[in-house]
């Protein structure tokens, strides 16, 4: 089985990204490090502000709070053993932030779900986040299906 001591796992809390997390835990075991990265999509925030749902700061704060709750719920039912798990939440374009964090932290592997929260129509027209990460990175990417 493929293993890696350090892995970046982008997570949007979809079932596919949670499945990728499970795979990454197995790959990092017994004593590796996982960096879980949740990206608050800045385009979503701008649309929410335009829809009158609050200020940019309020919406980002709520989404970050929700991400922390989702991290807790996701990790609660997962046996990580001795694998160290670090959680990060950033704001930006998901594929850009994934590439930036992988580069900045010098992580040798990205494990991510092949399908996230985006709609099939968006993926057809613009490509998926996974596809954009594959095209933009210089490290191996393992794309995990549902």
Q: What is the pLDDT of residues 125-143, one digit of tens each?
A: 446 899 999 999 999 999 9
Q: What is the CA radius of gyration of the chain?
A: 15
As given in the structure block, the two tokens for residue 101 are 């964090």
pLDDT band at 124 (very low <50, low <70, confident <90, very high): very low
Q: In the predicted model, is pLDDT for residue 117 greater than 80?
A: no
Q: How many CB atoms lie within 10 A of CB 10?
A: 28
Name the nearest CA neighbour of 102 among 14, 9, 21: 9
pTM tops 0.75, yes or no: yes
Mean pLDDT along residues 72-98? 95
Checking if the pLDDT of 69 tops 90, the result is yes
Quick one: pLDDT band at residue 26, thresholds 50, 70, 90?
very high
- Under DSSP, is residue 123 helix (H, G, I), strand (E, B) or coil? helix
Q: Which residue has the higher pLDDT, 51 or 119?
A: 51
Q: Which domains does the chain have, with CATH numbers?
A: 6-144 (3.40.50.620)
Does position 58 have pLDDT exceeding 80, yes or no? Answer: yes
């Amino acid at each position: 089985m493929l293993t890696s001591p350090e892995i970046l796992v982008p997570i949007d809390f979809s079932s596919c990204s949670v499945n990728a997390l499970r795979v990454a835990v197995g790959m990092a075991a017994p004593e590796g490090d996982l960096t879980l990265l949740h990206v608050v999509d800045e385009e979503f925030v701008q649309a929410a502000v335009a829809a009158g749902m609050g200020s940019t700061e309020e919406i980002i704060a709520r989404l970050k709070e929700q991400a922390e709750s989702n991290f807790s719920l996701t990790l609660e039912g997962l046996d990580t053993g001795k694998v160290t798990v670090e959680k990060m939440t950033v704001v930006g374009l998901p594929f850009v932030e994934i590439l930036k964090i992988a580069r900045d932290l010098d992580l040798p592997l990205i494990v991510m779900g092949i399908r996230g929260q985006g709609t099939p129509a968006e993926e057809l027209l613009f490509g998926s986040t996974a596809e954009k990460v594959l095209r933009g990175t210089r490290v191996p990417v393992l794309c995990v299906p549902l």
